[in-house]
């Protein structure tokens, strides 16, 4: 199988990358009709598989679960999840030949295997749905001509997909149709009905392409989402310890700091995150982020280039073929870092203190979000996609670090994200070595030691203007506006 993206002519590549449109609610007026009475069979009963199935069934659709023989025979967790929730469970052979839509919700790495196994069993004219396009775009999976291939990807963890549906709402969802596999022209109707079935249409649906989804998703996860937070954690911790700050305090400031800082990002973008700092600190964070962006710009470009050429995915697939030797080695290294090995202090840190004492962390988030966004849009990815894959998802990863630190964060994100995260980290840590020598504890650990919080008006206006006029803020305020009704405490 060959990289699908690379088989396309440039004009088609650009057209596919540029696909992303926020759909209007009235485009979903047909509800779930396109799927009504159709037999939907889910493969993979993890959090996404189970929770999407629960939503689809509650929307009046016919959902069952196909599990491997051994999962049924040994009554594994996936079997329990499906049966305790009252779903029909059967083997591939039992369920797939009559399925109208097969929902492949297994991890990326299993896709080739799963799809090759199920394809011969699927009936003529059925639909195969993905929630991530890696298999099609990077691995070049060729799906049988008569099969419709679509993607429906809720942009939140499975438990939230369910919780928001039960509230009467949904989570933002990306849909796409694989143009090479839409023989009957029904792909879009099916994808829209699926998004309605999971409740996604209420929170906003992005009509994208397999290619735009893959190329933006990979870029976001390996740079700002996982990579920047990993690199930032390691560098900030070591710096604080060097500066004589209590290691347990440093560990806590970082572990929970990302979550606290990016919570502000989630609600009001980079602008709000920066506004949480006092004016002198905000100006300092701004300067640091500008410096960081200059240093890291080439690295972000390289990541985007490698994703575009397929160099990234072929490197990773070589490691898959080699029993994940590199991945597992890097994962083990992460466990041995001083940050990872230092338990967080049990002292209380006030919410505002995470900002005041974490100026460098704020700067890193800002630099990472903006660079990832700039790099993606420069590569032809449309702003909506770039926003979701950078700013929107950063709090989700920050949240996993708060609960589990880096090792477990890496073990729980997808293998694809984890592999990319290590690549980024290995390049970025040495890249920032010089920069870090200039950092002192007033920027990370202690906060600015100044009695006078006054600033120059003109300078402040200039900084605020630069923060607020960044394109990620422009698109962000539009997209967050669509979700304004989600106001709630979490």
Instruction: Kindly state whether residue 407 participates in binding other proteins, applying the rule CB under 8 A.
Output: no
CA dihedral 311, 4, 136, 209 (to 10 degrees): 100
Positive or negative, the CA dihedral 417, 423, 424, 425 is positive
Residue 33 or 294: the one with the smaller Cβ distance to other proteins is 33
Instruction: Kindly state whether residue 87 participates in binding other proteins, applying the rule CB under 8 A.
Output: yes
> Which of 202, 252, 303, 480 is the binder for other proteins (CB under 8 A)?
202
> Which of 93, 97, 116, 167 is the binder for other proteins (CB under 8 A)?
167
Are 109 and 132 in contact by the 8 Å Cβ rule? The answer is no
Angle at which helices 311-321 and 415-431 cross, to 10°: 120
Sequence-ordered alpha helix ranges (H) in 175-246? 187-197, 200-203, 210-220, 229-242
Q: Tokens for 311?
A: 């160099």
Q: Tokens for 283?
A: 């100006």
Residue 62 or 243: the one with the smaller Cβ distance to other proteins is 62
CA dihedral 61, 62, 68, 70 (to 10 degrees): 110
Residue span binding other proteins (CB under 8 A) among the ranges 307-315, 348-356, 408-416, 462-470: 408-416
Instruction: Kindly state whether residue 272 participates in binding other proteins, applying the rule CB under 8 A.
Output: no
Site for other proteins in 97-126 (CB under 8 A): 107
How many residues interact with other proteins (rule CB under 8 A)? 44
Residue 374 or 418: the one with the smaller Cβ distance to other proteins is 418
> Which of 98, 113, 412, 474 is the binder for other proteins (CB under 8 A)?
412
Site for other proteins in 57-86 (CB under 8 A): 57-62, 77, 80-81, 84-86
Which positions ≥6 away from 468 have C-beta within 8 Å? Answer: 271
Minimum separation from the CB atom of position 64 to other proteins (A): 11
Q: What does the alpha-carbon distance between residue 132 and residue 352 come to, in Å, rounded to a whole number? A: 37
Minimum separation from the CB atom of position 380 to other proteins (A): 28
- The pattern of x and - marking residues 13 through 42 that bind other proteins according to CB under 8 A reads -------------------x---xx-----
Are 295 and 432 in contact by the 8 Å Cβ rule? The answer is yes
Minimum separation from the CB atom of position 54 to other proteins (A): 6
Residue span binding other proteins (CB under 8 A) among the ranges 153-161, 275-283, 285-293, 319-327: 153-161
Classify residue 394 by burial, with Cβ atoms within 10 Å: 0-12, 13-18, 19+: buried
Please state the separation of Cα 422 from the chain's center in Å.
16
Contacts 24+ apart (CB under 8 A), 130-133: 130/104, 130/210, 131/48, 131/103, 131/104, 131/105, 132/108, 132/213, 132/214, 132/217, 132/414, 133/176, 133/178, 133/210, 133/211, 133/213, 133/214
Residue 42 or 463: the one with the smaller Cβ distance to other proteins is 42
> Which of 357, 400, 410, 416 is the binder for other proteins (CB under 8 A)?
400
CA dihedral 217, 219, 225, 229 (to 10 degrees): 160
> Which of 248, 349, 427, 486 is the binder for other proteins (CB under 8 A)?
486
Give Cα separations from 247 to 241, 253, 292, 440, 441 (angstroms).
6, 10, 25, 15, 13
Give Cα separations from 41 to 44, 63, 96, 147 (angstroms).
10, 6, 7, 15
> Which of 10, 347, 458, 490 is the binder for other proteins (CB under 8 A)?
490
- The pattern of x and - marking residues 341 through 360 that bind other proteins according to CB under 8 A reads --------------------
Instruction: Kindly state whether residue 48 participates in binding other proteins, applying the rule CB under 8 A.
Output: yes
Minimum separation from the CB atom of position 398 to other proteins (A): 11
> Which of 13, 117, 414, 464 is the binder for other proteins (CB under 8 A)?
414
> Which of 98, 113, 159, 440 is the binder for other proteins (CB under 8 A)?
159
> Which of 413, 443, 463, 467 is the binder for other proteins (CB under 8 A)?
413
Are 273 and 365 in contact by the 8 Å Cβ rule? The answer is yes
Give Cα separations from 210 to 11, 105, 275, 426 (angstroms).
16, 15, 36, 29
Instruction: Kindly state whether residue 198 participates in binding other proteins, applying the rule CB under 8 A.
Output: no
Residue 56 or 212: the one with the smaller Cβ distance to other proteins is 56
SS3 32: coil
Residue 107 or 471: the one with the smaller Cβ distance to other proteins is 107
Instruction: Kindly state whether residue 215 participates in binding other proteins, applying the rule CB under 8 A.
Output: no
Active site residues: 132
Q: Which residues bind other proteins (CB under 8 A)?
A: 32, 36-37, 46-48, 50, 54, 57-62, 77, 80-81, 84-87, 107, 157-160, 166-169, 202, 399-400, 403-404, 412-414, 485-490
């Amino acid at each position: 199988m060959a990289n699908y993206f690379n088989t396309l002519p440039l004009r088609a590549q650009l057209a596919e990358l540029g696909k992303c449109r926020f759909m209007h609610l009235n485009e979903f007026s047909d509800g779930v009709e396109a799927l009504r009475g159709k037999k939907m069979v889910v493969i993979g009963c993890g959090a996404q598989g189970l929770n999407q199935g629960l939503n689809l069934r509650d929307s009046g659709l016919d959902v069952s679960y196909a599990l491997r023989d051994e999962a049924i025979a040994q009554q594994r967790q996936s079997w329990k999840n499906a049966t305790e929730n009252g779903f029909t469970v059967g083997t591939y052979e039992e369920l797939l030949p009559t399925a109208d839509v097969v929902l492949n919700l297994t991890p990326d790495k299993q896709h080739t295997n799963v799809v090759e196994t199920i394809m011969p069993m699927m009936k003529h004219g059925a639909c195969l749905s993905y929630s991530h396009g890696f298999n099609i775009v990077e691995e070049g999976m060729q799906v049988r001509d008569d099969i419709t291939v679509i993607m429906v990807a809720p942009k939140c963890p499975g438990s939230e997909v369910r919780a928001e549906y039960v509230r009467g709402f949904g989570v933002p969802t990306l849909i796409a149709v694989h143009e090479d596999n839409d023989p009957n022209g029904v792909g879009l109707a099916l994808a829209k009905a699926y998004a309605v079935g999971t409740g996604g249409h209420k929170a906003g649906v992005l009509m994208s392409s397999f290619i735009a989804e893959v190329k933006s998703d990979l870029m976001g996860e390996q740079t700002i989402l996982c990579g920047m937070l990993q690199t930032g954690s390691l560098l900030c911790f070591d710096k604080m310890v060097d500066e004589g700050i209590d290691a347990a305090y440093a560990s806590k400031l970082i572990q929970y700091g990302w979550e606290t800082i990016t919570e502000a990002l989630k609600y009001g973008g980079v602008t709000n995150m920066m506004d949480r700092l006092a004016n002198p600190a905000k100006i300092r964070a701004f300067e640091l982020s500008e410096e960081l962006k200059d240093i890291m710009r080439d690295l972000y470009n390289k990541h985007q280039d490698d994703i575009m050429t397929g160099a990234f995915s072929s490197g990773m697939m070589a490691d898959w073929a080699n029993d994940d030797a590199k991945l597992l080695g890097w994962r083990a290294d992460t466990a041995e870092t001083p940050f990872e090995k230092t338990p967080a202090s049990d002292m209380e840190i006030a919410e505002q203190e995470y900002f005041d004492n974490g100026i460098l962390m704020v700067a890193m988030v800002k630099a990472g979000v903006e660079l990832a966004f700039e790099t993606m849009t420069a590569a032809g990815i449309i702003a909506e996609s770039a926003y979701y894959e950078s700013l929107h998802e950063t709090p989700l990863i920050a949240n996993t670090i708060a609960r589990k630190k880096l090792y477990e964060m890496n073990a729980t994100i997808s293998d694809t994200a984890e592999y990319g995260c290590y690549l980024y980290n290995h390049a970025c840590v040495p890249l920032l070595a010089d920069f870090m020598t200039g950092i002192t504890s007033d920027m990370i650990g202690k906060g600015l030691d100044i009695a006078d919080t006054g600033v120059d008006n003109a300078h402040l206006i200039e900084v605020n203007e630069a923060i607020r006029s960044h394109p990620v803020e422009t698109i962000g305020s539009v997209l967050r506006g669509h979700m304004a009704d989600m106001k709630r405490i979490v």
